[in-house]
Chain A
Amino acid sequence: MKVIYFLWLRQLKRYIRSKSRIVGSVGQPLLFLLALGFGLGAAFKHAGQGNYLEFLVPGIMVQTVLFSAMFFGAMIIFDRQFGFLKETMVAPVSRFKIMIGGALGGATTATIQGTLVLLISFALGFRVYNYALIPVAIGIMAIMAIAIACFSSAFGSFVQDMQGFQAINQFLVFPLYFLSGALYPLNNVPTWLKYISEINPISYGVDAMRWVLIGHSTFGIYRDMLVLLVTLAVCAIYGTRRFNRIEA
């Protein structure tokens, strides 16, 4: 436990010490909220879909969690390049503990980021329908964050450099995000797009967040939670297996 705690703490310390990372990772969602929320808001309302900012905020929170948690994979690559990875790889500690400690740290920072975005949204005029459910929203973000951090550690384990990791972000994570219904409602999309979003776990994260924050859901919260928990289990197993096979 102590090992997991210290590796978790390491991720947290590095996050808190890096002002640029905090500013950068909140800046991007803020831009999305301003440009899309206010830019498309009028058209959204005109189409009879209601308040776009309200619709958008849960999606942007998921976006923040997704990309922040993916950063943990990049951390593994940095650790490999700067050599620190070797220190943990030869230690008499199971690789599972090493990965989980770091992944929980990465997930914690991602959840903090998501919560920061919620606070910013409040400043922009966003209101949740039930404030008592905010802890639930944080819990859902944490589940997603852990799953994604484990997923990213799998890539951090076998991708040798940042360029390769960026390619995975470009070709896998961005499509998952854009096809998740984070930015648009899924009830009127073409059938093929609907099918894609139904097999995309991110859609369920977005849907769950929407249910918690604005009381609106496409799939139903039980189905959302089931998919998220199964995704978490699959990612944890996949991440651990890949991480176990690292050679330095």
Chain B
Amino acid sequence: MIKVKHLVKKFGNFTAVDDISFEIEPGERFALLGPNGAGKSTTIKMLTTLLRPTSGTLELNGHNVVKDQAAARKSFGIVFQDPSVDVEMTAYENMQLHAVLYSIPKSQLESRIKDLLELVDLWDRKDSFVKTYSGGMKRRLEIARGLLHHPKLLFLDEPTLGLDAQTRNLLWDYVQKLSREQNMTIFFTTHYLEEAEINASRIAFIDQCKIIATGTAKDLMNQTKTKTLEQAYLKLTGVGTRDNNAGPQNAWAERNRAKAMR
């Protein structure tokens, strides 16, 4: 479903992703885990055509992501890490626009929107402007929208960030169901390691822009002789904290600042 070979992304002198390769089979639930700034979001952005790789090849569902963007875009859905809803529109309008963008047939449109907004408990507020929503409600809307069209491959970039335990459970139950019933491939990142331990069929650790270990949660624990995934993770990536500001946007800003100072 996903084939990544020797993927590199540089922003000027800053390397965000350094020669990573992996393959994901259809129906897998794959977790990419790593500290802040390790290159998770940049990898997802390249996989979802938002960024062009510096070098390497990317294939989604047999389509080359760089050369055949349109076909690649048809194969996936995504829940972004940061907000991407239009806050000046209502929740229903956001859902409706998404349905149109993904050509969901009219016959299914209303029932699907209703089901998903009910799932995330927003149906009563469907006609309120999103700007009147709390942070958690916005997040739930993002998730509902990402699940609206049933893609073969779903990217979830820290989907549960800032959500309460109830909504986290709801989300993962629903994702498990999609994976089981529709053999949907799931690619996700998270900082909650127990989420990955429970929900991922395979896990990769990424640190300092490189993939350092891959396998099932059990493999990784055996390999590191630890009892939980969190311990395995800390053993492999170290306990020191990372610069929270690292990442492509900041690298970009950093470079511009450096340019301006010259």
Query: Taking the complex as formed, is B96 at the interface, i.e. its CB lies under 8 A from any CB of chain A?
Result: yes
Contact B100–A2 (Cβ < 8 Å):
yes
- Per the bound structure, the CA–CA distance linking A79 and B50 in Å amounts to 15
| Residues of A close to B85: CB separation below 8 A | 83-84, 87
The residues in A between 65 and 89 inclusive whose CB is less than 8 angstroms from any CB of B are 79, 82-89
Query: Taking the complex as formed, is B3 at the interface, i.e. its CB lies under 8 A from any CB of chain A?
Result: no
Contact B50–A94 (Cβ < 8 Å):
no
| Residues of A close to B78: CB separation below 8 A | 90
Contact A89–B49 (Cβ < 8 Å):
yes
| Residues of B close to A93: CB separation below 8 A | 101
Query: Looking at the complex, which of A9-17, A52-60, A126-134 is the stretch in contact with chain B?
Result: A9-17
The residues in A between 131 and 189 inclusive whose CB is less than 8 angstroms from any CB of B are none
Contact B84–A3 (Cβ < 8 Å):
no
Contact B88–A14 (Cβ < 8 Å):
yes
Q: Is the interface of A mostly helix, strand, loop or mixed?
A: helix
- Per the bound structure, the CA–CA distance linking A139 and B145 in Å amounts to 38
Closest B residue to A248 by CB, please name it.
B50
Q: Pick the contact of B86: A10, A92, A247 (CB < 8 A).
A: A10
Contact B101–A17 (Cβ < 8 Å):
no
Contact B100–A6 (Cβ < 8 Å):
yes
Query: Taking the complex as formed, is B212 at the interface, i.e. its CB lies under 8 A from any CB of chain A?
Result: no
Q: Pick the contact of B88: A17, A86, A87, A89 (CB < 8 A).
A: A17
Closest A residue to B77 by CB, please name it.
A90
| Residues of B close to A79: CB separation below 8 A | 86
Contact B89–A13 (Cβ < 8 Å):
yes
Contact B101–A88 (Cβ < 8 Å):
yes
Contact A86–B80 (Cβ < 8 Å):
yes
Known contacts A86-B80, A90-B50; is-contact A6 B74 (Cβ 8 Å): no
Contact A87–B98 (Cβ < 8 Å):
yes
Query: Can you report 14 A-B residue pairs in the complex whose CB atoms are below 8 A from each other?
Result: A2-B100, A3-B101, A6-B97, A7-B97, A10-B86, A82-B86, A86-B50, A87-B80, A87-B85, A90-B49, A90-B73, A92-B102, A92-B103, A94-B70
